[in-house]
Amino acid sequence: MLKRDNLPLVVVLGPTAVGKTKVAVNLAHRIEGEVISADSRQVYRKMDIGTGKDLNEYRIGEKNVPYHLIDILEAGEEYDLFNFQRDFYQAVADVQFRAKVPILCGGTGMYLEAAISPFQLLEVPEDNDLRKELASMSLTELEEILRSLNPDLHNTTDTEDRNRAIRAIEIEKYKKEHQPERSAIQNYRLYGIRMDREQLRSRIKERLDQRLQEGMIKEVESLLNDGIEADKLFYYGLEYRYIAQYLIGEIDYNQMYTSLLQGIRRFAKKQMTWYRRMEKKGEDILWFDANEGIEKICQKIIKDLENATI
């Protein structure tokens, strides 16, 4: 019997297309839990197919499994790591207040680490003097400054855009001058879902084909028609970048498809690299082969949770 007193935060992670959402939802159904998304794009409305929300998976039989941090913003709005951590803390408190089990599920490494970090992220104000100082610098110069401030830089998207690079420098400088508060999350268990590399590559292709058939191109076209500029969509991830490029005529369909497939496969590889880095830093991830099936994986997770609360 699973004891609910002092139950740790449950984290289900894994690369894209591995089936972690199904595991998290079925686990929530079995232990009276609620799923909290750790996906940097699922927070946006009207971005459903490209972000892989798969909201139909949150229904088990006649019951809907509650979820959080999905569809909370309009496409085009700003959302960063600080916002996520703040909203995550609120979601956990809300779930626990109703005596349910919070289950964090996602593949965005930075979001996962922010959730389980022993410290709260700092709310960093804009530094207008610093921004004026950096305004005339090239993207290469900004990247050099950023890496000098944070040699262990893993969020490479901050080096692909001037505004993001300047903001990242602003944050790193502020962090060196201020001490963060301790996090409210001190007790958690990490469960990873993975599969053979070639099988995952095949799964990614199957899912991409399915989502294109479901209308992913029309979804991106609708966002463009709503007034969201293509340049903005480029930073919402691979699906939105390449499909937007296709829709505005920069690339043809075959180029779009090939680039997207290769990009998603590379992304899955980067996710696994990120998780291995987490393990090297001391995080204990209990891994399961996706081919074991949802039933068996959930049983093993529940057994581990039972042992953790004895």
Kindly list the domain boundaries of the chain, sorted by start residue.
9-119+187-308, 128-175
Measure the CA–CA gap between 116 and 183, rounded to whole angstroms.
8
Pairing mode, if any, of strands 9-13 and 67-68?
unpaired
Contact 131, 166 (CB under 8 A): yes
**Residues of the chain above pLDDT 90, percent:** 71
Pair of tokens at residue 189: 């268990």
For the beta carbon of residue 215, count every other beta carbon within 10 angstroms.
13
Amino acid at position 94, single letter: D
Beta bridge mates, 59? 64
pLDDT at position 178 is 84
Measure the CA–CA gap between 195 and 293, rounded to whole angstroms.
11
CB-based contacts of 77: which residues, under 8 Å, 6+ apart?
Answer: 44
- Please give the angle made by the CA atoms of 67, 71 and 77, to the nearest 5 degrees: 145
**Residues of the chain above pLDDT 70, percent:** 96
Measure the CA–CA gap between 301 and 307, rounded to whole angstroms.
10
For the beta carbon of residue 113, count every other beta carbon within 10 angstroms.
18
Q: pLDDT averaged over the chain? A: 92
CB-based contacts of 241: which residues, under 8 Å, 6+ apart?
Answer: 233, 234, 235
pLDDT at position 3 is 67
Contact 35, 27 (CB under 8 A): no
Q: What DSSP line would sit under 231-298, residue for residue?
A: HHHHTT-HHHHHHHHHHTTSS-HHHHHHHHHHHHHHHHHHHHHHHHHHHHTT--EEEEEGGG-HHHHH
How long a stretch of residues is the chain? 310
Give per-residue pLDDT as tens, 70-88.
999 999 888 989 999 999 9
Pair of tokens at residue 187: 């007790």
pLDDT at position 32 is 94
CA dihedral 170, 172, 176, 181 (to 10 degrees): 100
The domain defined by 9-119+187-308 folds into Rossmann fold (3.40.50)
Beta bridge mates, 191? 12, 286
Count Cα neighbours of 245 within 13 Å in the Cβ-side half-sphere. Answer: 19
Give per-residue pLDDT as tens, 255-306.
999 999 999 999 999 999 999 999 999 999 999 999 999 999 999 999 999 9
pLDDT at position 177 is 83
Q: What DSSP line would sit under 48-70, residue for residue?
A: -TTTT--GGGGEETTEEPPEESS
Give per-residue pLDDT as tens, 104-137.
999 899 999 999 999 988 888 889 989 999 988 8
pLDDT at position 5 is 66
Give per-residue pLDDT as tens, 186-209.
899 999 999 999 999 999 999 999
pLDDT at position 23 is 98
Q: Is pLDDT at 171 greater than 70 in this prediction?
A: yes
pLDDT grade for 309, boundaries at 50, 70 and 90: confident
